[in-house]
Amino acid sequence: MAEVSQADSASSQAKPIGDGRPVYEVGFHVVPTVEEGNVGAVLEAIRTEITKGNAEIITEQFPQKIALAYTIERAVAGKREKFSSAYFGSIKFAIEREHIPALEAMLRSTTNILRYLLAETVREEATVSRRAVFASNRLEGETIKKPTSAPETPKEVSEEELQKSIDALVS
C-alpha cells in the first residue's frame, strides 16, 4: 500500500518539460546613465554569460526605459547615486543548476546593472486571462430607450398644509 502512495506522490510532482534542465528567468534593471545605444551591449554580456553553460534561451525582452516606483540609492566610488528610472529587460532560459552561481556573480559584479531578480520558473509562457464578456441576444437589433414616466401635475396645496410643512422644517 505504501508503494502505491509513493508512486502517486512522485507522479504528482512537477517535472521540467523538454530536456530536463530547470528553467530560470532573470529580470534586471540597467542604470539610466548607460546610453540607449549601449544597453544592447549589457544585454549581450548577460546573454553571453548564460550561454557559457550551454543554455537554451526561451524568451528575451530587450531593455526598455521605465520609471521606477521609488527612487533606488546605490553607493558607487564612495558617493551615493539616486536612480528614479532604469532600463528593464528579462531573459528566460533553461540551464543546469551548477551554472547559476557564476551567473549571479556576474550580475552582482556588473556596475551597469542596478538590480536583478533570478527565479526558477516554468517553460510555458504565462498568459493573462481575459475578463469574460457576457452578451445577450435578447435585445439584439433594438435601441435601448430611456423609460418614460408620466409628468407630475402640480396639485393645489391649502394654506393650512403649507404652514404645517414650513413649521415642520423650521423646528
In the CATH hierarchy, which top-level class contains the domain 24-121?
Answer: alpha beta
Is the pLDDT at 14 greater than 70, yes or no? no
The C-alpha cell at 38 is: 549601449
CA 6 to chain centre: 37
Distance of alpha carbon 25 from alpha carbon 58, whole angstroms? 9
Question: What integer pLDDT is reported at residue 140 of this predicted model?
Answer: 66
Cβ within 8 Å of residue 42, ≥6 positions away: 30, 34, 63, 87, 110, 112, 113
Question: What integer pLDDT is reported at residue 8 of this predicted model?
Answer: 40
Question: What integer pLDDT is reported at residue 45 of this predicted model?
Answer: 93
Least Cα distance to 56 among 29, 23, 83 occurs for 23
User: Which ranges of the chain would DSSP assign to H, the alpha helix?
Assistant: 2-12, 39-51, 100-109, 159-170
- Percentage of the chain exceeding pLDDT 70: 78
Distance of alpha carbon 74 from alpha carbon 69, whole angstroms? 16
At 115-124, the pLDDT tens digits run 999 999 888 7
Spatial contact of 27 and 89, defined as CB atoms under 8 Å apart: yes
Is the pLDDT at 99 greater than 70, yes or no? yes
Distance of alpha carbon 106 from alpha carbon 139, whole angstroms? 62
At 57-98, the pLDDT tens digits run 999 999 999 999 999 998 878 889 899 999 999 999 999 999
At residue 64, the 3 state secondary structure works out as strand
